[in-house]
Structure formats: structure tokens, C-alpha cells
Amino acid sequence: MTLKVGIIGIGGISGTHVPGWNASEHAEIAGAADVNPAALEKFGAEQGITKLYSDANDLINDPDIDIIDVCTPNGMHAKFSIAALNAGKHVLCEKPLAPTPGEIEQMIEARDKSGKMLMTAQHFRYTDTAMALKQEIETGVLGDIYHARAWMLRRAALPAWPGIMYKKNSFGGPCIDIGVHILDLTLWMMGNPKPVSVSGTAKTALALRDGAWTKWGGDIPKDMDNEDFAAAFVRFENGATLMLEVSWLLHHDTDGEDMRMWLYGDKGGSLWPKNEILSASATHHQLYNTQLKHAPTVIEAHAAECVDFAAAIAEGRPSPVPAEQSLQVMSILDGIYRSQAEGREIQL
Ligand SMILES: NC(=O)c1ccc[n+]([C@@H]2O[C@H](COP(=O)([O-])OP(=O)(O)OC[C@H]3O[C@@H](n4cnc5c(N)ncnc54)[C@H](O)[C@@H]3O)[C@@H](O)[C@H]2O)c1
């Protein structure tokens, strides 16, 4: 049976999902919804589909649709996902699954009531370097991972559009925008240990200074209220720890975006995306840096997540990115904001 996909939100990111649905042997695009009629009409013509709705609820309640792909701005993720699960649809939802832990808990409740699949579109898990490293870690090459360091740092690269700059639209700055990517990836590599506390800072360090600019163009408004920098120290139930840094504007040594993750275990360490495994011989007192070489993936990562989502449904596998793991991510990010507000470590 071919699963029929309905996409809500025919904007930027949906364009990266389309090749995945078109490549899937288990799914095909059958409908779309958007508040922008021109975009909807163009999409319908390109994809050869006629189920086009200006109200997303009409798509959600269309009996021919099996999968709802939520590609709207962050604040609508929970609303549309819950409605779709209640209507008996499987849901793939863009990151962040929802911008607050409370909304993710409601999504989990709706998923459990419906028995349908809910997955967060964390495409970095599907990059060739991440898949190769995860596979290697699962052989036990790092041993017990007791510490991680992760960052996603941009220099003069703030997305200066209204949907991103104000809390009322985006619910947060780089924590919510890009922190979800590197944090999800790092927790996944660590085996998703349960976070128990976070001490963090989140501040608008540079964006509101005179002369602040972004290479992506546009003016940074003086009433922007999101952070442009955040850092945190996280403790996990198993004793492991994590240091995290994210920024849109840091005076950091990069031309664009520097995204990195170190994992330190009792048998070895690793550095991603360089994909080196670092170890030491106890008998010869030698140090080894092993370069992982992997075959490039045949399909782009955003598309790959759609293919895997449909395959997981067809094969009866669990959700490739369970909502519980996104709840861990969002609890930590929410903890950073609370830690900043209260000036202390927060118990999660
Ligand atoms: N995984 C990634 O790499 C990545 C990259 C960019 C964005 N995203 C995520 O994708 C989501 C969308 O971001 P984008 O960049 O595509 O934004 P966008 O503004 O380009 O697209 C959003 C679309 O949703 C539509 N929309 C808004 N309100 C709607 C409603 N009530 N009903 C139906 N449609 C509605 C808009 O008209 C627009 O077409 C965000 O959650 C963002 O975090 C993920």
C-alpha cells in the first residue's frame, strides 16, 4: 500500500522533503495546505496534485491522507500535529518538534492515544558522517561516554526576518533555531541519557549593539528580543556531562557555520564531522587517530528522513526519531532559558 502524504506549509523546508517523498517506495505526495494561495497553486501544478487546501484542517481531515508532514513555523507544530494524530494520521514534524516541553508532552499523549507514528525531522542524523559515526559508536569503540562538547556557532549570520527575531514568533533564538540540531545529534550519539540538570546562559550579546550586521542581509531591529548566544553545562542521570555553545553572531573563527561535536569515552574519543576516532594503546603508549571513511549517502539528508519515516511505518519499526528524545532536547533548551532567568542551575 502506498501511503498518501499531505504537507502543511509549502515554504522553504518543504522543498527538501519533496524529493524524499518522491523517492520513497512506500509513500507519495497527495495533498498540501498553505495560507499562501499562490504558493499552493504552484506546488499543485509542479507535483500534479489537486488536493490543495487553504485550511490545514481540511487536509488533516481528508480521509485519503495517511501521513501529515508539518512544515509550518514552530508555533503551529503542536497544534497541527495533535490534530493530525487525533484524525488517525502518522506525523512527520519539522524541528523543533515544538518550542516548549509542555507542547511535546501533549503531542506524545496524542500519539499514544492514536497509536500512529510521530517523528521529528532531525535530518543531521541522516548525514553520511553522522550515520558512519553512530554505527562506529555502536560497536563500543568509545566505551562509556562520560563527557561531550558540542557547538553550532555562526559568525555574523543572524537570520534577520520577523519569524525568527521575536520570541512571540520563534520562541527563542539560536537555541531553538540551531541548538536543536547539534543537541539532538549529540544526545543521540551519547545514547540519549536522561538529562537531570542544566546551568546556562542565553543573552543578546551583539545583535543590539550599534553597527551590528548580518551577512544574510536585512536590518536587525532594535526590539529583537531573542538571544544571539547561549552556553550550557548539562548533567545526566548516568553521570555523564555535556558542554554546549550556540550562536548566530559570535566573533568566532569561522566564515560561516562551525558545527562540531566531541565525545569522550573510557575507551576512546571522537570528533564530528571530521569523523576521527581518538584512542591510546595501554601497552605501547601510542596514540591513534583513526579516520572513518564512509561511502557518501545516495540521497540528501532531509529527503532521507522522509524515506526512512515511510519505511518505518511500512515495516512496523518504531519512530526513527521518537518524540521522547525531542522532549529531552527541549527540556535542556528550556532549562537554559530558566537558568538564565533565575541565575542558577535548574533541576530538570
Ligand atoms: N531541518 C532544517 O534544516 C530546517 C531548516 C529550515 C527550517 N526548518 C523548520 O521548518 C519549519 C518551516 O520553516 P521554513 O523555513 O520552511 O519557513 P517558511 O516561512 O519558508 O515556510 C513556512 C510555510 O508555512 C506556511 N504557513 C504559515 N502558516 C500556516 C498555516 N496556518 N497553515 C498552513 N500553512 C501555513 C507559510 O505560508 C509558508 O509557506 C520551521 O519549523 C523551521 O524550524 C528546518
Quote the CA–CA distance of 231 and 256 in Å, as a whole number: 19
Query: Cell 551577512 sits at which residue?
Result: 215
- What are the CA-CA distances from residue 5 to residues 84, 117, 230, 302 (Å)? 12, 13, 37, 16
Q: Which residues form the pocket of ligand 1, taking CB atoms under 6 Å from any ligand atom?
A: 8-13, 33-36, 39, 56, 71-74, 76, 94-95, 121, 123
Query: Residue 141 in 3-state DSSP?
Result: coil
Residue 305 pLDDT > 90: yes
Using one digit for the tens of pLDDT, what is the confidence trace for 227-274?
Answer: 999 999 999 999 999 999 999 999 999 988 999 999 999 999 999 999
Interval 97-106 mean pLDDT = 97
Q: Is the pLDDT of residue 298 over 90?
A: no
Stretch 109-127: mean pLDDT? 98
CA 292 / ligand 1 centre spacing (Å): 35
Global pTM?
A: 0.97
Q: How far apart are CA 98 and CA 323, in angstroms?
A: 10
How many angstroms does the Cα of residue 96 sit away from the middle of ligand 1?
11
Cβ neighbours for 43, distance < 8 A, ≥ 6 positions apart:
10, 32, 34, 49, 52
pLDDT tens sequence across 182-214: 999 999 999 999 999 999 999 999 999 999 999
pLDDT digits (tens, 9 = 90+) for 17-72: 999 999 999 999 999 999 999 999 999 999 999 999 999 999 999 999 999 999 99
Q: Nearest 5°: phi and psi at 312?
A: -60, -40
Expressed in angstroms and rounded, the spacing between residue 72 Cα and the centre of ligand 1 is 4
